[in-house]
Structure 1
Amino acid sequence: MNRYSDLTKYPKLFKNSYWGSFQVDKDPPEKEIVSNRNRFSEEYELISFICSERPKVGSKLFDHCELYKSKNGFTFITSPYDENSNDAERFGLTKYLKLYHPASNTYIKHFNSKIEFNKFLKNPES
């Protein structure tokens, strides 16, 4: 039984993410999303998937969240269906390639340390 993660060049990296756990035979992903996942991994030099934590704020922006350890710190993404670009800017996120579904935009933010990310979780506007 193939999962979305198996379609990427980096199945171990994505296998524990929510996106990576979907079964291919039930609903195959768009080729563009798989290609974007490969590019994301290479561009940000990802090492491992960390978690799916999200800030606890009243914004629909934080949906389908993923945090990865990279060679230079930590990379956080969120891929909401219902989003507000003003929220993304307010929280210091930048629009990126679509990494979840063609109908959802992905936003990204880099952190130098896990401590920095944990502070963001508590207060994303600081």
Structure 2
Amino acid sequence: MTIQPAEDECYEPPPDEECDEFSSTLDLAANVRMGTRQMYMRGTSELVYFAVWQSHKIDGRWEKVVRVDCHHGTVHRHDFARSGDNEMAVLDVIPVKGGTSEFLGSWCTRIELVMQNEWEANLRRWHGDKE
């Protein structure tokens, strides 16, 4: 009999019904908006999920430009294009045990600042403009 290594664990946030949600939006410019969604274990300050996104309003509809979230065990970025394409890049792997809330909080803060600083470049990319 051989001992098989355990499969790699993958962080997944708890179900929404076990969490308190805090969402906000910030208008970065006319028809350009950044939003955040943070989920905490109900009644605690333990961050278990976040998403930060940027949208652009065209013809009365908000279109996704970019989103960073933390599903499927990773912090990852989705770059959307006007054509409907979606390129995804993994930024980091979320630790399963110990320090998860601090890890997610650090990434969330960092991504909020990045989104505020690069919204114009994101918008150009979404339109297909070469920088």
TM-score by length of 1: 0.28
Higher alpha-carbon Rg: 2
TM-score by length of 2: 0.27
Q: As a proportion of its length, which structure holds more strand?
A: 2
Q: As a proportion of its length, which structure holds more helix?
A: 1
